[in-house]
Amino acid sequence: MKCALVTGGSRGIGRAICLEMATAGYYILVNYRSGQEEAARTLDLIRGQGGDGELLPFDVGDRDQVQRQLTSWLERDPGRDIEVLVNNAGIKEDALLLWMEDTQWSSVIRTNLDSFYYVTRIVLNGMLLKKYGRIINVVSLAGLKGQAGQTNYSAAKAGVIGATKALAAEVGRHGITVNAVAPGFIRTDMTQGLNEKEMKVLIPVRRFGLPEEVAFAVGFLASPRASYITAEVLNINGGLYS
């Protein structure tokens, strides 16, 4: 059974990615930290379109939880392999650096950057044994361009971009690709407070993106057809920044 693990898969971009990967025939592991109801809704949608999967709750920024839950899942059935890993889970706690609290810095770094290390190192072992794997990291325009009021978030996402390129160099010869997608303004909970009507004039295509558009790009990078693409960051921002 080929499986895809999507962290932060309960809603928004994560949910769209779960549905896209299910369409490609993967058994989906829907990870979430809280919001079991939304995660269950994602699983219902997967099954409604003919796919299957299960919920796998843990806090991606908690090393012990990641180790315990992922290792336990892998040991339960050695016949199941995580062929695709999508590191999507993330949070924002915006503030100007001058007034940023220590907890705002540490929690954003932990959830957005440390999580890449905690989750990927466990999943990577199975990919190396099989000599095949796809790792896709959901980063952000903020990690490329930098955003005022998001020093913590920008630093975390820029860190994942650097890690993406370094890991790609390490594992490419083993049939594993490592890429990232960098969404701009996408219609999700994270952009609900933004005025799309005012901000879309900054975007060449004159609109915010849809979660499904990000998911399509992830699905392509996860496919065998993308086997010669690695260490790349694909911008999905309507031309706002490249």
User: Which residues form the catalytic set?
Assistant: 153
Task: Please choose, from the candidates 13, 242, 238, the residue with its C-alpha nearest in 3D space to the C-alpha of residue 145.
Answer: 242
Residues recorded for the chain:
242
Q: CB neighbours of 84 closer than 8 A, spacing ≥ 6?
A: 2, 3, 4, 5, 21, 26, 133, 134, 135, 136, 222
With b for 16 or more beta-carbon neighbours within 10 A and e for fewer, the 122-131 pattern comes to bbbebbeeee
DSSP 26: P
With b for 16 or more beta-carbon neighbours within 10 A and e for fewer, the 67-102 pattern comes to eebbeebbeeeeeebbbbbbbbbbbbbeeeeeebee
Greatest C-alpha distance within the chain:
52
